[in-house]
Amino acid sequence: MASSRIEVLNQGGYRSDGRKQHELRSIAIDLAPQGVADGAATITHGLTTVLVSVFGPREAKLRSQTLHDRATISVEVGVAAFSTGERRKRSKGDKRLLELASTIKATFEPVIQTALYPRSQIDIYLHVLEQDGSLLQTCINGTTLALINAGIPLLDFVCAVSGGVHVASPLLDLNQLEENDVPHLTLALMPKTKKITLVTMETRLHVERFEEIFRLAARAAEVIHQEMRAAIRIKANTLVASMGSTRATVDGTDRDGNHMDED
């Protein structure tokens, strides 16, 4: 799949898919409900698509798994066999998927206000429909949106973005080709407090290059936050409109800095 001699960044400063160095791929967000899920989101970054459904907080299937003072979170990731270039069926016990699931769980555990729902469970199911790099980023952004859509109280958005360094030039939002060739990291940021909830890197990167890409990715995460917030606002506005409420729209009431996504 990865032909070795693809130019990651050409002399004109363009990447293999025609983007500039710091350009993100197009984002599409669909917050329509899926089946009986309490909240769902389909998010597309370029050609990577993930569908996330959230159930809960609800009674846990196994009583033994509950915690007396907070809700437990379970994350399950499934990958469609046709999502990659080469067909490959991944079973549920696949190490790679379990790792992805546990990374997502660790990212959201400090963000979801689990203490509000003792002895209950929140289930997050992710289904990867298309893959073209930056899978973790897409999964995290989709999970944030689905949780908000399900009305589960979060401390803040979690916005993730991937970045890499080609020779000395930092790149953002890598596609599969770039991900195969370039050392890369994924970063998840809570935009309000600028706290970082996740940084992962599986490849090696020179320590002097790290700070540059780290700062750049943090800025990119804020751009992604704008997009996600806009999508949530549109959804919230249609909900408010369909309730026939005479109150001001979300845009009007949000000026005092309160996010209305929690209710």
List residues near another protein by CB under 8 A.
Answer: 32-37, 40, 47, 51, 53, 55, 61, 76, 78, 80-85, 87, 89, 92, 123, 125, 127, 129-130, 242
Alpha helices in 109-206 (DSSP H): 135-149, 176-181
* C-alpha torsion 64→128→216→179, nearest 10: 120
122, 73 contact by CB (below 8 A): yes
Place of tokens 């090696």: 204
Q: Is 94 exposed, middle or buried (0-12, 13-18, 19+ CB in 10 A)?
A: middle
Structure tokens at 201: 């890197």
- Least distance CB 87 / another protein (angstroms): 4
- 6 or 115, CB closer to another protein? 6
Nearest to 81 by CA among 71, 91, 69: 91
Q: 3-state DSSP call for residue 163? A: strand
